[in-house]
């Protein structure tokens, strides 16, 4: 294999911004932020909007996440949605 062409595979903390939860896993994602984890070590921090802690499939609840006015644009185009 060629040296220095593969990204670094290391532990990274993913923090769900909408649910307020965090979990650690291995990833190659590049991040600028770091966080001190429960074990006292410092890990790179990746902030995400949706994870298994807040996704409707896993939680069983319907939640609209508005990113840059997408919901308003959809409602203007197709009308407001009916609540069940």
- Rg, the chain, Cα only: 18
Show Cβ contacts of residue 74 under 8 Å, excluding neighbours closer than 6 positions. none
Instruction: Say what the pLDDT of residue 37 is.
Output: 92
Question: Does residue 56 belong to any structural domain of this protein?
Answer: yes
Domain carrying residue 58: 10-78
pTM value? 0.63
Domain assignment present for 62? yes
pLDDT for 41 equals 94
* Average pLDDT of the residues in 38-59: 81
Distance, C-alpha 14 to centroid of its chain: 7
Residue 77, pLDDT > 60, answer yes
Number of domains in the chain: 1
């Amino acid at each position: 294999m060629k040296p220095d062409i593969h990204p670094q595979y290391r532990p990274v903390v993913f923090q769900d911004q909408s649910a307020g939860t965090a979990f650690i896993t291995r990833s190659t994602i590049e991040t600028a932020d770091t966080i001190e984890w429960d074990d006292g070590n410092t890990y790179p921090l990746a902030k995400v909007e949706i994870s298994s802690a807040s996704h409707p499939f896993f939680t069983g609840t319907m939640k609209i996440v508005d990113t840059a006015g997408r919901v308003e644009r959809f409602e203007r185009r197709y009308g407001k949605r009916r609540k069940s």
